[in-house]
Amino acid sequence: MTIYDRLGVRPVVNAAGTLTRLGGTLMCAEALQAMHEAARSAVVIDELQEAASRVIARHTGAEAGLVTSGAFGALVLAAGASIAGLDVRRMNRMPHYGYENGCEIVICRHHRNSYDKAFDVAGARLVEVGLLDRALGVGVREVEPEEIEAVIGPRTVAVAYVAMEGVGPDLAMVVQVAHQHGVPVIVDAANQVPPMENLRRFIAEGADLVAMSGGKAFRGPQSSGFLCGRRDLVASALLQQVDMDVAPASWTPPKEFVQKPLNGVPRHGFGRGFKVGKEEIAGAVAALETFISKETDYQKQWADRCRGFAAALAGLAGVEAIIVPRETTGRLPLVELVFPSVAKAAEVSRGLRDGVPSIHLNERRVGEGRLTFNPVGLDDGQEEVVAAGVRRLLGH
């Protein structure tokens, strides 16, 4: 019996993608092995994070890196680092320091999303800039430099930028404006790898901090993420995350991160609730390195699953399976299932979820009569299980 059997919880076939509510993707064998090895020995977490930083920095081009509790945790710590810096007095007042001093983070209005609550947690207030002309299709103009500049003031601690394919404005422009005013730029790139070049792209374009998920395409622990960027800001994030119940007389700051004396020793930080264990750190680093070495293999595997799934539904009455190649999505291949009506798409999705095994397709386009097959979260051969479920519900 599996752990799910013993707990009375049914596993699912995840063809919906890297969704947190479905446990993300299946962890790669290398990450699983690393977590098993890490669990069998105690370790100084600071030292483990220093080692992780060297790996993350090497692959991203950043000065330093940190394993975090998912991309949301990375954003919270990024905001906290932007507010407190390496000032121990500010760290000890977080998140109240942010609230009391009216700390602000500027964000393009069309970049607002459910995950930007991370900035609230750190004590910052979001200041929106720009109009929704392009997002609504009523105009052609993006957010302009002067609009961002107009809202940057003495309370501004950072500019937030959500990286999405085809969504502007250009990061380089945002960075230029922010840096002219001495303000760091935080990039939310949670699910922007693949493509592989995005590992380095945001740092190369001048971002000061970049947040990524470790439990999506990297196939690391679902609860893991990465924060990379400027050494001083990553250092602040680390010191506000780790166990700081230390004796001041004997404490030495982690040399990989802190390169000048601090004005004291921080207490437990506001980011303590976003801590990660030795297992997540080891697993996330192993997954990152595995992804980099096997990304071509992963892409081939995903493409093969899409072709196999679409072929199993070819010519079937009541549905059209359309392969959307990686070159079109910019990230990975997908299959769009087109049904005669919205009602039919919803019926099939519900029927798959309620069946045995429970199968999940992505419903983001269900309002258009479409369901999306995403191959990333599947195990070998599960594309055939999904196809069989669709055929059954359509009476074949």
pLDDT in tens, 280-293: 999 999 999 999 99
Cβ pair 158, 183 in contact under 8 A? yes
Q: Which tokens go with 226?
A: 């990465």
Length of the chain: 396
CB neighbours (10 Å) of residue 341?
A: 9
What CATH number has the domain spanning 21-290? Answer: 3.40.640.10
* Contacting residues for 227 by C-beta, under 8 A, at least 6 apart: 65, 66, 68, 74, 77, 78, 209, 210, 211, 212, 234, 237
Distance between CA 35 and CA 39 in Å, rounded?
6
Residues of the chain with pLDDT under 70: none
| Among the listed residues 108, 32, 104, 120, the one whose alpha carbon sits nearest the alpha carbon of residue 72 | 120
Intervals of CATH 3.90.1150.180 along the chain: 3-19+294-393
Distance between CA 100 and CA 102 in Å, rounded?
6
What is the pLDDT at residue 67? 98
Cβ pair 394, 317 in contact under 8 A? yes
Residue 109's Cβ-side half-sphere holds a number of Cα atoms within 13 Å equal to 14
Q: Which tokens go with 275?
A: 């801590």
What is the pLDDT at residue 133? 84
Residue 202 DSSP symbol = H
What is the pLDDT at residue 107? 98
What is the pLDDT at residue 141? 87
Work out the angle between the directed axes of helices 278-313 and 45-60 (0-180°, nearest 10).
40
Intervals of CATH 3.40.640.10 along the chain: 21-290
Q: Give me the sign of the Cα torsion angle 392, 302, 326, 359.
A: positive
Order of strands, sheet of 104-108, starting from the edge strand that comes earlier in the sequence: 64-68, 225-229, 209-213, 185-188, 156-162, 104-108, 125-129
Distance between CA 356 and CA 21 in Å, rounded?
19
Report pTM: 0.94
| Among the listed residues 231, 239, 184, the one whose alpha carbon sits nearest the alpha carbon of residue 207 | 184
Residue 23's Cβ-side half-sphere holds a number of Cα atoms within 13 Å equal to 11
Do β-strands 209-213 and 185-188 pair in parallel, antiparallel, or remain unpaired?
parallel
Select the CATH number that applies to the domain covering 3-19+294-393 from these four: 3.40.1440.10, 1.50.10.20, 3.90.1150.180, 3.40.80.10. 3.90.1150.180
